[in-house]
A and B are shown apart, each in its own frame.
Chain A
Amino acid sequence: MIDSTNTSNVSSIFSNVKSKFSGEKMNKLAMSFILPALGLAFFVLLWSLVAKNIDTSLGQFPGPSQVASQASALWQEHKAESEKAEAFYKRQEDRNAKRLAQDPSYEPKVRVYTGAPTFFAQIWTSLYTVSVGFVLASIIAVPLGIACGLSKSVYAALNPIIQIFKPVSPLAWLPLVTMVVSAVYVSDDPLFSKSFVTSAFTVALCCLWPTLINTAVGVSSIDKDLINVSKVLRLKPLAHVITIVLPSSIPMIFTGLRLSLGIGWMVLIAAEMLAQNPGLGKFVWDEFQNGSSNSLARIMVAVITIGIIGFLLDRLMLLLQQKVSWDKSVELR
């Protein structure tokens, strides 16, 4: 009698444990997969419903299906264009080889293919530009931020400049940067095009501030005891920065870098639209000016692409932080 109740107790506990365990697993699955998928599905549904009811001068607002078909159309165009380019280079090579066979003293001419840049070429241009601008800004902002965090005097001197320029919209900078670049950056055989330099500088100007401010805050809030350790050990300034300052402010530096990269990416698209500099922003603007029945769907493809790339850039920074940070246990968001 006692025995049987015991076993039933045990088995009920066991099944409890089991259901709890599988419940946890389910929960994890729901959190990481089912719920996000549900959210997306709901959004797509809402989008297609709303899109049907919006009429613009360029026709109906594109729903998910039009956007998908335009995405594949853009891919086809890209493939066709790269085939054309390949054919062009092949023809050129053949021609040069032939001329060389007839006349060994002939110097082969190599021309660059000049087709209109495709959507994917524009993506590449934008990514390249934002990386250069961001890296440039970080190279300036991190050391400057460390200096601000270490020295109250440096901070006092730089603070007004930071506070005034931080809230300036990139679009206000753009005309100035454009004029300065075209005045200063003159060379017969420029390594980079002027439009690229303008975009990258504009991005850099806006990327500076979050990194600078967060680095300064991170550095100035280092544990006082650790600073005392450094003093007792008489660490030289450089050793102090490398062994104490950098490791303890890595999380704040990365918070700043991620903010900067996010801002930089947004700024770049706007700058490309305004200045007609090559990149995704120009693609959007060209499609808008073009005004065909497919334009809106193609712009929507660009919008989604811009979003996904922004997201991936942020993830990339997170991965980098995980690699660099000494504290692997912190949850990174």
Chain B
Amino acid sequence: MDIDNHLELTQVGMKFPTPKGDFVALTDVNLRIKKGEFISLIGHSGCGKSTVLNVVAGLYKATDGGVILDNTEVNEPGPERAVVFQNHSLLPWLSVYKNVELAVKQTRQGRNKAEMRAWVEHNLELVHMTHAKDKLPSEISGGMKQRVGIARALAMEPKVLLMDEPFGALDALTRAHLQDSLMEIHAELGNTVIMITHDVDEAVLLSDRIVMMTNGPSATIGEILDVDLPRPRNRITLADDPAYNHCRHEVLSFLYEKQRKVENVADHQKKRESATEEKAKDASSAA
């Protein structure tokens, strides 16, 4: 297996049929991802980031081109490409433990009962959620739910971890916490990760490469930025690091100079407002 050709997107295009004819969301998306790489997808709202992620997940079938993971074509969803959804998507009728257990059972790989139990608990420990394992999702905060969502995805032992704005609905403090956790987990497990984000700092702090997408329709990859910062990274010491600030500047200038977009600001505002509910809950649980 060629380590450089772990995950390959070749000429990926996506057309959505609409009443007014086909809507071309993506064209010619080409990307090669190495094993263990952490990739961020960044771009303005509606440009097609989620579409790319869903194509890799197998939830959408690309209308052009295709995705190859370890020399096999992706054509349906599966646990080797685990998804962390933006709004956690835990099953509300199952406890935290049971939610993770469901994923473990589906991908048991010859584990017996005791081993499965240990594996569920290990993954809850990774995201520091062991203390709430018997609670229902409705009884924990938004940040905790997102942690459990990550634990569920990790428990599948995926080759690729796909995350669609995993921390988008969280307040800054909780978000920083989870970013640190994610960096630790990535350092420990070495999964390949593709993460969508709107947050420039988050992208630079976490990623090996930042993939910047042009505005839709017919969105594609505009630029790819290598983030050559040594790991482990620390958000406080990086704040004054010239290399870090250079990266930030590159991304910001791509987003706000080269791909300026005005009309979506209002849209975005709405999205953030709907997230404030979660924030309030988080803030109270942090106290």
Contact = CB atoms under 8 A, between A and B. Distances in A.
Given A225-B85, A243-B91, A232 B102 contact: no
B91 A226 contact: yes
Contacts of A228: 59, 77, 83, 85, 89
Contacts of B93: 247-248, 326-327
Nearest to A234: B78
A243 B105 CA distance: 13
A243 B92 CA distance: 11
Nearest to B57: A232
A49 interface: no
Nearest to B152: A229
A139 interface: no
Contacts of B82: 232
Contact residues on A (Cβ < 8 Å of other chain), bracket: 10 to 19
A233 interface: yes
Contact of B79 (A226, A232, A248): A232
Contacts of A235: 106
A247 B156 CA distance: 23
B165 to A, nearest CB: 13
A226 B152 CA distance: 13
A223 B103 CA distance: 18
A231 interface: yes
Contacts of A234: 77-79, 106
B87 interface: yes
A162 interface: no
Interface string B66-80: 000000000011110
B61 interface: no
Contact residues of A: prevailing secondary structure: helix
A254 to B, nearest CB: 15
A229 B85 contact: yes
Contact residues on B (Cβ < 8 Å of other chain), bracket: 20 to 34
A244 B82 CA distance: 18
Contacts of A329: 138
A234 to B, nearest CB: 6
A327 B137 CA distance: 11
B79 A233 contact: yes
A223 to B, nearest CB: 8
B49 interface: no
B163 to A, nearest CB: 13
Interface string A229-255: 101111100000001100110000000
B87 to A, nearest CB: 7
B91 A232 contact: no
B17 to A, nearest CB: 16
Contacts of B81: 232
A232 B153 CA distance: 10
Contacts of A248: 93
Contacts of B106: 233-235
Contact of A229 (B58, B78, B89): B89
Contacts of B85: 225, 228-229
Interface string A320-333: 00000011010000
Nearest to A247: B93
A128 B87 CA distance: 47
Nearest to B107: A233
A231 B91 contact: no
Interface string A116-134: 0000000000000000000
A231 B77 contact: yes
Nearest to B158: A232
B89 A225 contact: yes
B91 A247 contact: yes
A250 to B, nearest CB: 9
A237 B77 CA distance: 15
Contacts of A247: 91, 93
Interface in B83-142: 83, 85, 87, 89, 91-94, 102-103, 106-107, 138
21 contacts: A225-B85, A226-B91, A228-B77, A228-B83, A228-B89, A229-B85, A231-B58, A231-B59, A231-B77, A232-B59, A232-B77, A232-B78, A232-B81, A232-B83, A233-B103, A233-B106, A233-B156, A234-B78, A243-B91, A326-B93, A327-B93
Interface of A: 223, 225-226, 228-229, 231-235, 243-244, 247-248, 326-327, 329
Given A232-B78, A234-B77, A329-B138, 10 more contacts: A225-B85, A229-B85, A229-B91, A231-B76, A232-B57, A232-B77, A232-B79, A233-B107, A234-B78, A234-B79
The 8 A-B pairs with the shortest beta carbon distances in the complex, nearest first, are A326-B93, A225-B89, A231-B77, A247-B93, A233-B106, A232-B77, A225-B85, A229-B89
Interface of B: 57-59, 76-79, 81-83, 85, 87, 89, 91-94, 102-103, 106-107, 138, 156
